[in-house]
Amino acid sequence: MSGDIQDINQLLYDASSARMQGRLDKAVELFQKALDCSPDQPRVLNALGAVLTEKGDFDMAEKYLEKARNVAGESASVLYNLGRLRQVQGRPDEAVRLYEKVVKLEPSMCVAWNNLGSLMLDAGMTGKAVNMLEQAVECAPGMAVAWNNLGVAREKADMPGRAEEAFRMAISLDADYVSALFNLGSLLLREGRRGDAEVLLEKVVRLEPGNVTASFLLKTIDGSGAPDAAPAEYVRRLFDDAAMDFDSTLVEKLEYRTPELMFRMVEPFLTKGMRILDLGCGTGLGAGMYRPYASFLAGVDISGRMLEIADGKKVYDELFQFDLGGKWPVEKKFDIIYSSDVFVYFGRLSGLLGQMAEHLEPGGIAVFSVEKMDRSGEGDFSLGPGGRYTHAPSFVEKEAWRCGFAVVESAEEILRKEAGKSVRGMIFVLKRQEKNLL
C-alpha cells in the first residue's frame, strides 16, 4: 500500500509538473495512470478534470469533476474547478453559483473572488465587481491579474483615480504585464495625459509588436500616419467591453441624440413595408423608431456582445456580425440604410459608401452621421486622441458623389457630449442614383 501511495504521489508530482510546463497531453496521461492506481481518489479526479478543462475537453472534464464532487462532497477545490469549467463553457450563471459556494467554504480563495468579480463585470454589475475584486486583492495582494481586473472595474465605475492605482499596482508586480500596461495607457489617454500614455503604449508595442490596438492608439496621440480606418480588432474590443452599460452611458452620461436626429431627417422618406438595414446597430438603440415602417429590419455590427443585447430586444428580423470595412457577406438589398456613430471609425469613406450603394435599391436612401472636423484642421479627415475620425463636410459630399449618391439633405447638429463639451457633427441624407455618377 505504501508503495502504491508513493507511486501515486510521484505520478501526481510528474503530472502537475507537465501541466505547469503546458504539456497537457502528458499531464492527462499521468493523471490517468494515477487514477488507475486509485480510481476513487478525489484529488486525482479533480486534477484530471481541471487539465481536461484547459484542453477544451469539456465533456470528459465534467465527468471527472462530478465524480470528484460525489466522492469528496462540497470541496472548495472541486467546486472551483467546476465553476471554472462552467465559466469557459459560457455558462456564467452556473459559474457564479459555484464560485459563491467556494468563497463561503474558503473565504481566502482569491482566485474564486477574482473570477466572481470578472463575471460580475461581464454582466454589467460594476459595483459588485469592484467589491469582489477588492476582496481578491485583499486575500492575495501579490496577484497582478486581480489588480488589473480591479482597475477595469473601477474605471467602469467612474473611479479613474482608483483605477489608475490598481493598474499601477499590477505593473509594480509584473513590469511586463501587457494588459495592465495597455489599460493604464488607454486610461491616461482618455484623461488627456498623452505623454504618460505614449510611454506605456510604446512599451506595449515593444512587448507585443503585433498589437494593432496599441499601435493605433499611439497614432491618435499626434495624428501622424493615421490609417484609412480604425483596426477592426480595436473597434470590436471597444464595443465588446462597453456592451453591458452602453445604452445608459450614451443616453444618461453623454446625452446621445444622434439616432433621434437622424430619424427626424429620414422620416419623410419612410413608407410602410420597407427593407431597412441598421448599419453598426450596436445594442439596437433607436431601432424601435424604424420598426413600424419595416417589412424586414436587419442589423449588423462587429461586436458579438452588442449583438447579443440587440437580439434580446426582439426588434430585428435578422442580425449579422462582420467587419464593415470589407465586402459585406449580405446578398439582400435594402430601401433604407441608416448608420449612427459608425463613420467616426473610418477616415476614407469610399469603401463604406461603396458597400452601402451596392446594398441599396436604385433610389434607396442612406442616412448617417459624422463628426465635423475643426475648421482649423487641414485635409479631408483627421484622427483624434479618442480614436475617432472627424471629417470635412465637403469631403463627405465628394466621396458620396464618387460612390453614386446624390446629397438630398445635410445638417449640422450637436450629436453628444464628451468631457462635458458638445460634440458637433453632420447628418447626411443621400439617395442612390440609378448608376454611378462617374
Residue spans of the domains in the chain: they are: 2-222, 241-432
How far is residue 203 from each of residues 45, 220, 384, measured CA to CA in Å? 42, 16, 21
pLDDT for res 250: 60
Burial class (CB in 10 A: 0-12, 13-18, 19+), 127: exposed
Which stretches of the chain drop beneath a pLDDT of 50? 1-3, 437-438
pLDDT of residue 6: 61
CA 407, 409, 413: angle at the middle one, nearest 5?
125
- What is the reported pLDDT for 117? 96
pLDDT for 334 equals 97
Whole-number pLDDT of residue 1: 40
Cell 430601401, residue? 335
- Mapped onto helix, strand or coil, the DSSP state of residue 178 is helix
Closest CA to 388 of 350, 411, 416, 357: 416
Q: What is the pLDDT of residue 419?
A: 66
Structure confidence at residue 3 (pLDDT): 43
Q: What is the pLDDT of residue 252?
A: 55
pLDDT of residue 248: 61
pLDDT of residue 378: 66
pTM of this prediction?
A: 0.82
Neighbouring C-beta atoms of residue 72, cutoff 10 Å: 18
CATH class of the domain whose range is 2-222? mainly alpha
What is the model's pLDDT at position 437?
A: 46
Q: How many CB atoms lie within 10 A of CB 302?
A: 23
CATH 3.40.50.150 assigned to domain 241-432? The reply is yes
CA 97, distance to chain mean position in Å, is 24
CA distance 291 to 428: 21
What confidence score (pLDDT) does residue 2 get?
Answer: 40
pLDDT of 223 reads 63
Domain pair 2-222 / 241-432, same fold: no
